[in-house]
Structure 1
Amino acid sequence: TLGTQTDYRDGEAQTDPYSSEYVVPSGSVPELLTLATLTWGRGLPAGLAEVEMIERAREKRAWEATLPAMDNASQITKRRKMMDDMERKEWAFREQEIEKLQEVRLEVLKKLLRRREENQNELDAKRLDDHWQNHQKAKEEKIKKIQHDCALMLRKLIAKRKNVMGKLERRDIIKDYTDFASQTYAPLSRIGYFPDNHSERYVVKNFYLNTFAGLCELEASLPDSVTEVKIKAPKPKYSTTKTGFIKRSARLEVELAQVHQ
Structure 2
Amino acid sequence: TLGTQTDYRDGEAQTDPYSPAYIVLSDSVPEILTLATLTWGRGLPAGQAEMEIIDRIREKRAWEAALPPMDSPSHIAKRLKMMEEMERKEWAYREQEIDKLQKVQLEVFKKLLQQREENQNELDTMRLYNHWQNHQKAKEEKIQNIQHDCALMLRKLIAKRKNVMGKLERRDIIKEYNDFSSQTYAPLSRIGFFPDNNSDCYMLKNFYLNTFAGLCELEASVYNSVSQLKIKAPKPKCTVTKTGFIKRSGRLEAILEQVHQ
TM-score normalised to structure 1 length = 0.77
Greater length-normalized contact order (CA 8 Å, ≥ 6 residues apart): 2
Deviation at 1:34, TM superposition (A): 2.1
**CA pair 167-105 structure 1, distance change in 2 beyond 3 A:** same
**CA pair 222-94 structure 1, distance change in 2 beyond 3 A:** farther
- Residue among 246, 249, 253 paired with 1:256: 253
The worse-fitting range, judged by mean Cα deviation, of 215-224 and 113-122 is: 215-224
Corresponding residue for 1:231? Answer: 231
Corresponding residue for 1:194? Answer: 194
Whichever residue aligns with residue 255 of structure 1, its letter is L
Corresponding residue for 2:155? Answer: 155
Where does 1:199-218 land on structure 2 (aligned, <5 Å)?
A: 199-206=199-206, 208-210=208-210, 215=215, 217-218=217-218
Cα distance in 2 for residues equivalent to 1:241 and 1:167:
98
**CA pair 56-219 structure 1, distance change in 2 beyond 3 A:** farther
1:103 aligns with 2:124: no
Whichever residue aligns with residue 257 of structure 2, its letter is H
Q: Deviations over 1:38-84 (max 9, x none)?
A: 23332233222122211211111111000111122211111111111
SS of the residue corresponding to residue 197 of structure 1 reads helix
Whichever residue aligns with residue 251 of structure 2, its letter is V
Whichever residue aligns with residue 141 of structure 2, its letter is E
Gapped runs of 5+ residues in structure 1? 1-20
Deviation at 1:162, TM superposition (A): 2.1
Cα distance in 2 for residues equivalent to 1:246 and 1:155:
88
Cα distance in 1 for residues equivalent to 2:227 and 2:120:
75
**CA pair 188-98 structure 1, distance change in 2 beyond 3 A:** same
SS of the residue corresponding to residue 50 of structure 2 reads helix
The worse-fitting range, judged by mean Cα deviation, of 214-223 and 53-62 is: 214-223
Corresponding residue for 2:36? Answer: 36
SS of the residue corresponding to residue 196 of structure 1 reads helix
Cα distance in 2 for residues equivalent to 1:219 and 1:63:
120
Deviation at 1:221, TM superposition (A): 4.1
**CA pair 23-241 structure 1, distance change in 2 beyond 3 A:** closer
Where does 1:83-94 land on structure 2 (aligned, <5 Å)?
A: 83-94=83-94
Cα distance in 1 for residues equivalent to 2:214 and 2:60:
109
Deviation at 1:23, TM superposition (A): 2.7
Q: Deviations over 1:204-225 (max 9, x none)?
A: 4445445556555544544334
Cα distance in 1 for residues equivalent to 2:148 and 2:37:
84
**CA pair 200-114 structure 1, distance change in 2 beyond 3 A:** farther
Corresponding residue for 1:76? Answer: 76
Corresponding residue for 1:15? Answer: none
Whichever residue aligns with residue 254 of structure 1, its letter is R
SS of the residue corresponding to residue 74 of structure 2 reads helix
Cα distance in 2 for residues equivalent to 1:105 and 1:63:
33
Q: Deviations over 1:117-151 (max 9, x none)?
A: 21122112212221222222222222222221222
Q: Deviations over 1:148-206 (max 9, x none)?
A: 12222222222223223211123334443454432233211122322233544544444
**CA pair 221-72 structure 1, distance change in 2 beyond 3 A:** farther
The worse-fitting range, judged by mean Cα deviation, of 24-33 and 103-112 is: 24-33
Where does 1:1-12 land on structure 2 (aligned, <5 Å)?
A: none
Tell whether the 8 Å contact from 2:68 to 2:78 is kept in structure 1 after alignment: yes
**CA pair 149-36 structure 1, distance change in 2 beyond 3 A:** same
TM-score normalised to structure 2 length = 0.77
Aligned residues: 238
Cα distance in 2 for residues equivalent to 1:211 and 1:196:
26
Cα distance in 2 for residues equivalent to 1:238 and 1:164:
92
Corresponding residue for 1:144? Answer: 144
Deviation at 1:103, TM superposition (A): 1.4
